[in-house]
Structure 1
Amino acid sequence: IVVKETQTIPGYTIDPAGQSQTVVVNPADTQTLTFYNQPIGGVEIIKVNEADRTERIPNTTFEIRKVDDELIDTVTTGKDGRVFVSLEDGAYYAVETEAAEGFQVDPTPHYFEVEDGKTVSLTVTNKAFSGILIHKVDADTREGIYGVTFLLYDSNKNPIGQYTSDDRGYVYIDDLPSSGRYYLRELENEGYIVDEQLKTVYVTDGTTTEIVWENTAITGQIQITKTSADYNSMNGWPAGTPIPNTEFEIYNARTGNLVDTIKTDKNGVASSRPLPLGRYKVVESKAADFYGLDQTPIEVEIEYAGQIVKAAMTNKSLYTNVSIKKTGYVEVMPGQQIRYDFSGIGNNSTTSLTSFYWRDTLPTQAVRLDKIVTGTYNVPGNYKVVYKTNLNPNYRTMYDNLSTQQNYVLDASPAALGLASNEVITEFMVVFGVVPANFRQVEAPQVYCNVVSWLTGGTQFVNQADVGGIYNGQWIMATSRWVTKVYKPAEPLPRTGY
């Protein structure tokens, strides 16, 4: 049997002599092997609980640095609360960077020196973490209450700290001097009945004591009335008509938290649930049909119990419409070039539209796209042209970063785009993105195509164009079609003999 030493305890080398030993084992025979290890210089760190030094603490991370702050290693204590680092002779220090769960980080540097290849032993203590977590909540809604102030007292009822709840109603007290008994008193709580009871809290080492503390709200209400600001040509409602189905969101003005969502009824009135005293921000989140969304916030304040704060708001009527018109040759011959003209491309709405485009779908059985004259538009901006082919159903960019103020002639021939011999463009689309109300063409776009040579006289083909944009999640679209006939020569009259 060959016996080889593969691992040793920290602080020692593996047996350097031979590194393995061979032994013959006979029945009823016991053989003794001796391996020799040399100590390695370094530091052994032992992490213990300050309150009970017999308790070892695992998962504590240290940085080992030279005295000039050069980082040598980063190590973590094992299950036995210890870790060994082999080091050359010299002066060093260890500093804790991450404490184990339930303990506080001790940032104190611990200096030591390695001499003559010996191991230095450091015992470092940690204080168990002790804390209090208060969650201040509305007794009815269970939502957290912001801005509640508390006074903390020690076991002798001496005040030792003041704390305030955050926007979720939490107070985290992590600077307690020790475990033991503490007292808490609520000092102020805007919009709620103050709970003046002195609460007793017991804290033990390494734990966080959690308290859910309820308060009853002093409430009032917010009421919004929504009416039409002008005559609405879409539904015929005159100015001043109450508007139903308008939605609002109500936010706490201090925390920004959403506290209620309301909708106007048939009388144009929306009422909140009972809300605690305080300041609120009301924002329209969804407009009624045929009205523009007005997201200008208004601020209101509920100042006393039972108050109904009323606010009146109006909406301007909304009209959504887009347009496009396409014309071309009435009659063509096979092999001829045909031109299509576009007019009226625009967003006629009283609101902006997103994803605005105009598109041309080509009758590929009859024509091949040759070039595009882009036209110009009344609003400065940039756009791109994309296209599809019979071999690729996904849009590819033809030209990008085009200016709405410049009229381009774009080469869209197969050679210019590098299309395959059997690949033809089935449609192209001019993509603008967001456009304002009254966005429209100035110089007219044109499209040039070549009619294929194999068409027969008397047939006809249809070319379709469309335009569209999105408002409030819905597409607003319009379509225009143009029919072209293929010229058929008249048959000659038969000879009569005269």
Structure 2
Amino acid sequence: KDAETGERLGGVQFEVRKMNGEIIGTYTTDRYGVIRLPEVEEGWYTVTEVRAPDGYILDDTPQSVEVKDGKTAAIELYNRKESNILIHKVDSQTGKGLYGATFLLYDKNRRPIGQYTSDQDGYVYIEDGLPDGKYYVREIKAPEGYLLDEELKTFYVKYGQVSEIRWENTAEKAQVQIVKKSKNANSINGLPAGTLLEGAVFEVYDKANNKVDTIVTDQNGRAASKALPLGRYTIREVKAPNYYSINPTTFTAYLEYPGQIVEFEVLDESVGTGVSIQKTGPKEAMPGQPVKYTFSGIGNNSTVPLDNFYWRDTWPAWQVRLQQVVTGTYNQNLRYKIVYRTTHSGSSYRTLADNLSTQQNYAIDASPAALNLAAGERVTEIMFVFGTVKAGFRQVEAPSLSGVTIGGLAGGSTFTNVADVGGTYGGEWIMAVTRWVTKVYAKTIIKLPQTGF
């Protein structure tokens, strides 16, 4: 039966032995809490509980009973429900469970009963079959990075219940600070070496590599973390100020005592930006003559990647008809496309070729027939669109554009072919331009007067 309520308990298992140790058998109470053993010999027996009901404390004390001839011997046994203690150790600010706190449990007379340590979620579950009554508990070891709470706390265990205690700890805290400076003079913004830099972003990680803070340098070049529990932290720069590159160093801070400030001076290299393109072609051309323009030095000369990178040629549409585009090759493995505009397309671009590989040199027919141009429609612009390119992006094999000069051009006239290259860094365009002037050479026929001879 239940020791408090008298409720009968099924599923309790007992072992019955004779006094000489001979086992009669193992039996389990039915739903009425009863075991009947008919036709047993007279004599003394011991009855021992070997399995308690769920939620009850095992009472394995052997009980003796005498069976007399012709009579029924009855024995009543009792179980007490488990009374347990649940301690939840948490951070006082976040409520997060804390691993590694150790507690000492005392009985009502303040005699130590046992020592217990919180698990990964901050729980201590004490299920030692505690009798009802008063208990004391003291924290004897705090989680790493937290202040020890030595208060002796009192609580009561009630029959069949779990007594819960929420136990907060305050972190021993310190701070990480960053001072951000330029390592060298910056040719773009004109700031000298040692300038304090605003806008650098750092991430702070704990020893489990969990990000615990993100900090940004202010106008004085300083960034400070929130108060952090003591321990080991790593700090990485994830975004540099405009016109500076990220410092790749991972910094390690050891916060060892409350109130400590660990400071790092972090230097960023100045960014260099620049692009280039050179164009060459015929110095002179006759009407109806093939001409070819070759491009060299196309590249991103910056120390940083550039977005929206392109190079473009503004074609002399009224003097030359475009016939062919040779793409050239480039030193970074990318996919790109070529677009063009005509005298009829206005500001809209049409696609000449897409999903091209920078590692392959293509010769693309760009004649009026291949482009299905209307009568009198001419190509005015060809543009190569690469997207984002890394620092050091370079042309390898030279691209070229070929065409035929239009008949009837006036001798001595000139036409200019303009090419440009560009990309964006920090939302600003970095560009370069090259030009090539070609002079038209045409025969002049002079009629001499008749002399009469």
Match of 2:322 in 1: 369
CA distance in 2, matches of 1:438, 1:143: 50
Q: Is this contact kept in 1: 2:181–2:195, CA < 8 A?
A: yes
Q: Is this contact kept in 1: 2:295–2:398, CA < 8 A?
A: yes
Q: How does 1:96-111 map to 2 (within 5 A)?
A: none
Match of 1:402 in 2: 357
Q: Determine if the alignment matches structure 1 residue 276 to structure 2 residue 232.
A: no
Q: Is this contact kept in 1: 2:179–2:223, CA < 8 A?
A: yes
Cα offset for 1:438? 3.5
CA distance in 2, matches of 1:456, 1:199: 108
Match of 1:388 in 2: 340
- 1:192 match: secondary structure: coil
The superposition leaves residues 113-137 of structure 1 with CA deviations (integer Å, 9 ceiling, x where unpaired) of xxxxxxxxxxxxxxxxxxx998955
Could you tell which deviates more after superposition, 445-454 or 212-221?
Answer: 212-221
Q: Is this contact kept in 2: 1:138–1:216, CA < 8 A?
A: yes
Cα offset for 1:495? 6.7
Q: Is this contact kept in 2: 1:150–1:164, CA < 8 A?
A: no
Correspondence for 1:430 among 384, 387, 394: 384
Match of 2:401 in 1: 447
Q: Is this contact kept in 2: 1:137–1:212, CA < 8 A?
A: no
CA distance in 1, matches of 2:414, 2:150: 89
The superposition leaves residues 30-72 of structure 1 with CA deviations (integer Å, 9 ceiling, x where unpaired) of xxxxxxxxxxxxxxxxxxxxxxxxxxxxxxxxxxxxxxxxxxx
CA distance in 2, matches of 1:397, 1:147: 63
Match of 2:70 in 1: none
Count of residues in correspondence between the two structures: 352
Q: Is this contact kept in 2: 1:331–1:487, CA < 8 A?
A: yes
Name the CA shift for 1:386/1:443 in 2 (closer, same or farther; >3 Å): closer
Q: Determine if the alignment matches structure 1 residue 220 to structure 2 residue 220.
A: no
Name the CA shift for 1:400/1:455 in 2 (closer, same or farther; >3 Å): farther
TM-score (norm 1): 0.54
Match of 2:120 in 1: 164
CA distance in 2, matches of 1:484, 1:434: 34
Q: Is this contact kept in 1: 2:287–2:442, CA < 8 A?
A: no
- Please list every run of 5 or more consecutive structure 1 residues that lacks an aligned counterpart in the other structure: 1-131, 166-170, 177-182, 203-209
Q: Determine if the alignment matches structure 1 residue 477 to structure 2 residue 431.
A: yes
Cα offset for 1:427? 3.5
RMSD across aligned positions (CA): 5.3
The superposition leaves residues 278-302 of structure 1 with CA deviations (integer Å, 9 ceiling, x where unpaired) of 2222111332344221243222121
Match of 1:324 in 2: 277
Q: Is this contact kept in 1: 2:89–2:169, CA < 8 A?
A: no
Cα offset for 1:244? 1.8
CA distance in 2, matches of 1:491, 1:136: 102
Q: Determine if the alignment matches structure 1 residue 466 to structure 2 residue 420.
A: yes
Q: Which amino acid aligns with 1:252?
A: D
Name the CA shift for 1:410/1:145 in 2 (closer, same or farther; >3 Å): farther
CA distance in 2, matches of 1:233, 1:273: 35
Name the CA shift for 1:214/1:396 in 2 (closer, same or farther; >3 Å): farther
CA distance in 2, matches of 1:252, 1:164: 16
Q: Is this contact kept in 2: 1:387–1:425, CA < 8 A?
A: no
- 2:246 match: secondary structure: coil
Match of 1:286 in 2: 239
CA distance in 1, matches of 2:354, 2:215: 45
CA distance in 2, matches of 1:173, 1:334: 95
Q: Determine if the alignment matches structure 1 residue 358 to structure 2 residue 311.
A: yes
Q: Is this contact kept in 1: 2:201–2:214, CA < 8 A?
A: no
- 2:348 match: secondary structure: strand
Q: Is this contact kept in 1: 2:100–2:118, CA < 8 A?
A: no
CA distance in 1, matches of 2:393, 2:297: 10
Cα offset for 1:146? 6.5
Q: How does 1:412-431 map to 2 (within 5 A)?
A: 412-416=366-370, 419=372, 421=374, 425-431=379-385
- 1:254 match: secondary structure: coil
The superposition leaves residues 130-181 of structure 1 with CA deviations (integer Å, 9 ceiling, x where unpaired) of xx99895553xx5857657598x9xx9999994434xxxxx7999x9xxxxx
- 1:164 match: secondary structure: coil
Q: Identity of aligned pairs, percent?
A: 41
Name the CA shift for 1:173/1:451 in 2 (closer, same or farther; >3 Å): farther
Name the CA shift for 1:133/1:440 in 2 (closer, same or farther; >3 Å): farther
Name the CA shift for 1:232/1:393 in 2 (closer, same or farther; >3 Å): closer
Q: Determine if the alignment matches structure 1 residue 193 to structure 2 residue 147.
A: yes
